[in-house]
Structure 1
Amino acid sequence: MKKNRLLAKWLNDDLSPDELAAFEASPDFEKYQKIKKYTAHLDAGDFDENSMLSNILSQKKAAPKVVPLYKKWVPRAVAIFVLALGITFAMKVFIPQTETADFGKKTAFSLPDNSEVVLNSGSEINYKKWNWDSNRHLELKGEAYFKVAKGRKFEVQTRLGKVTVIGTQFNVKARKNRFDVVCYEGRVKVNYGKTEILLTHGQSVRFENGKQIKMTVSSLQPEWMNDQICFYKENIRTLLDEVERQYNIKIDLNTKDTISLFTGKLPAKDLNTALQIISTTYHLEARKVSNNKIIFDEK
């Protein structure tokens, strides 16, 4: 109650210097100040003072009416409360939304138009809900699979390139210096630097270190959606980076052979088998030094 009275007095500029200093030091002062700023323009219009005075003098004198203090601040407090609710709602609608998938996990969610998205491990998407139907644009860090609902142009922006589609299913991967796009249905337009490529059903493209590399599509959807990690001519460090993301572990590599390329698949739910395949392929020995740390040594 004391806090509410201080708020009412502050709104009416009735605080003493000591009360004002204490009120400004309160943790909620910044919020009250913003609300007061947005409500400052709500003021009564001008009135004719002479006309009002004549009207008062012509009426019979009545006993003075005492208005309790709470009747002054309650309506204003209610107005502030309603305004605060409006601001909270606006923040939820207009502030960009973020979806993430931590290491060792995948995240599936729907966009405002019911487009479906699945984020692979260690990935993030940012987008805005408001005006989504007329501006279907999002930013991706990592890898994601999209099943886009029909509608206006749909854009996926990454730091390496942009993908533009209209109603389709596709996969985008932007990791370090590699940018992969696979089209599983419909058509997608890929922009990478000054290069623009149109992909149709079953086509894909990869850029690495600024160079375009041919890829083939052999599945109806990304292998990682079925708990498999697929590699095509990958060096061992890139391979281990993906294993770290999928299993949420740390891997140290003690070998001079970092040039040999790997093409194949690793399980995303069976760490021992994945480590055995890597060890056999690169003639390494895997040591588990803790539950979440692996060291590969040369044999």
Structure 2
Amino acid sequence: MNKNYHIDDTFLAKWLNNELTEEELTAFKKSEDYALYQKIADKSRQFKVPVFNQNKVYQKIQNQLEQQNSVKKLVPIWFYAVAASVLILLGTTFFFTNKTNYNSAIGQQISYVLPDGSNVQLNGESSISFSKRQWEKGNRNLELDGEGFFKVKKGSVFSVTTKEGVVTVLGTQFNVQTVKKYLAVECYEGKVNVKSDLAEFVLTPGKGVRFLDNNTKKYNTVNTEPNWLTKQYQYNAIPLSVVFKDIENVYKVKIINKGVNLENKYSGVLIKKDLEKALNVISKSMNFKYVVKRNEVIISN
């Protein structure tokens, strides 16, 4: 049969959270790998340990698979690492920290429904985590790394925590983008309270705020959803770290930095349908060199 899926941590997380498509699940169940993964998942739910010990869990996996190997064909070495990730995902998500984690790969956009019925759409290479148990108790806080577009159910209150600040919402639609030393929030509906070490603001529809270099800047926007959904990228003194993150997601490439100062500010547009043209325009403006190698872009001074 044709294998129309790829087993990695994201795939396993979707499987464990019952988020595979019917086609993916059917193909997975027909594979030779499925029985072993299912057995490991079932066994892991019986674990009751006070502290998660990765080495101990890894050894337990090996022991289980060695017993399996005595009556079945040998399991390839790569299976140990992937099988370990099943237990790590199960252990950390369901039994030890009771946290649910969602993440997206470079260039991937994924939507999730939160326990209260609110929706979050993650941009590429982003992640959220939250505790379902705490959420049910009314402590609705989730952690965001990267960028997410939130549509909050009317009457529902929760907070989005990032390394650069906290966004608290009530029945609203908003976008949060965060990279190192940078936080940008735009409000499209309702009200958003944004708080960082620098300042605190309440945003209403059509308003946005950026925190950068110990400075804050409020601005107006005509957008009704974030630029990564409309594919209209316009920058006004935005750090290259943000611009390069957008390039990675638009063109599904990995940018490798060889000395370019990512705090330099770029003003201009991002060309969407031609990577070479996009890089050429930005590099001339920002005075850096680049080399494209398959799915990688190497930038240097």
Distance 2:258 2:44 in 1: 52
Q: Which one-letter code corresponds to 1:248 in the other structure? A: V
**Would you say the 8 A contact 1:94–1:129 is kept in 2?**
no
The secondary structure found in structure 1 opposite 2:247 is helix
> CA–CA distance in 1 between the matches of 2:283 and 2:198?
40
Residue from 146, 152, 159 that aligns with 1:155:
159
CA shift, 1:241, in A, is: 4.1
TM-score normalized with structure 1 length: 0.61
1:203-239 Cα shifts (integer Å, max 9, x gaps)? 1111113221233313111110123444221244542
1:248 to 248, 253, 271: 253
Provide the aligned length of Structure 1 versus Structure 2: 218
Give the equivalent residue in structure 2 for 1:213: 217
Deviation at 1:187, TM superposition (A): 0.5
CA RMSD in angstroms comes to 3.6
1:132 aligned to 132, 135, 142, which one? 135
Query: Does the aligned pair in 1 maintain the 2:165–2:183 contact within 8 Å?
Result: yes
Distance 1:127-1:240 versus aligned 2 partners, 3 A rule: same
Cα deviation for residue 169 of structure 1 reads 0.3
Provide, for residues 113-156 of structure 1, a one-character-per-residue CA deviation record: whole Å limited to 9, x for no partner: 22111111121100122353523221111111101001342211
Say if 1:124 and 1:269 are closer, same or farther in 2 by CA, change over 3 A. farther
Aligned equivalents of 2:43 and 2:120: distance in 1?
A: 41
Give unmatched runs, 5+ long, in structure 2: 1-39, 50-90
* Structure 1: gaps of 5 or more residues: 1-26, 36-87
Alignment of 1:16-55 (within 5 A): 34=48
Change over 3 Å in CA distance of 1:115–1:93 after alignment to 2: farther
Residue matched to 2:187: 183
Residue 198 of structure 1 corresponds to 202
The answer to whether 1:112 aligns with 2:115 is: yes
Which residue of 225, 239, 244 maps to 2:243?
239
Distance of 1:32 and 1:155 partners within structure 2: 33
Query: Helix, strand or coil for the counterpart of 2:132?
Result: coil
- TM-score, L = length of structure 2: 0.61
Maintained 8 Å contact 1:203/1:216 = yes
**Offset at 1:260?**
6.1
C-alpha distance in structure 2 between counterparts of 1:218 and 1:164, whole Å: 22
Task: Please give the residue correspondences for 1:223-234 in structure 2 after superposition, counting only pairs within 5 Å.
Answer: 223-234=227-238
Partners of 1:223 and 1:229 within 8 A in 2: yes
Q: 1:101: how far off?
A: 1.2
Match of 1:9 in 2: none
- Letter of the structure 2 residue corresponding to residue 128 of structure 1: S
1:95 positional shift: 1.9
- Please give the alpha-carbon distance, in whole angstroms, between the structure 1 residues aligned to 2:288 and 2:116: 48
User: What SS does the aligned partner of 2:171 have?
Assistant: coil
What is the match of residue 266 of structure 2? 262
CA distances 1:54-78 after superposition (whole Å, capped 9, x unpaired): xxxxxxxxxxxxxxxxxxxxxxxxx
What is the distance in 1 between the residues matched to 2:181 and 2:195?
A: 15
- Judged with a 3 Å threshold, the aligned counterparts in structure 2 of structure 1 residues 229 and 101 are, in CA distance, closer, same or farther, namely farther
Is the alpha carbon distance of 1:131 and 1:33 closer, same or farther for their aligned partners in structure 2, counting shifts above 3 Å? closer
Quote the Cα distance in structure 1 between the aligned partners of 2:163 and 2:142. Answer: 12
Q: Which residue of the partner structure matches residue 165 of structure 1?
A: 169
Q: 1:235 to 1:207 in 2, by over 3 A?
A: closer
Distance in 1 of aligned mates of 2:296 and 2:148: 26
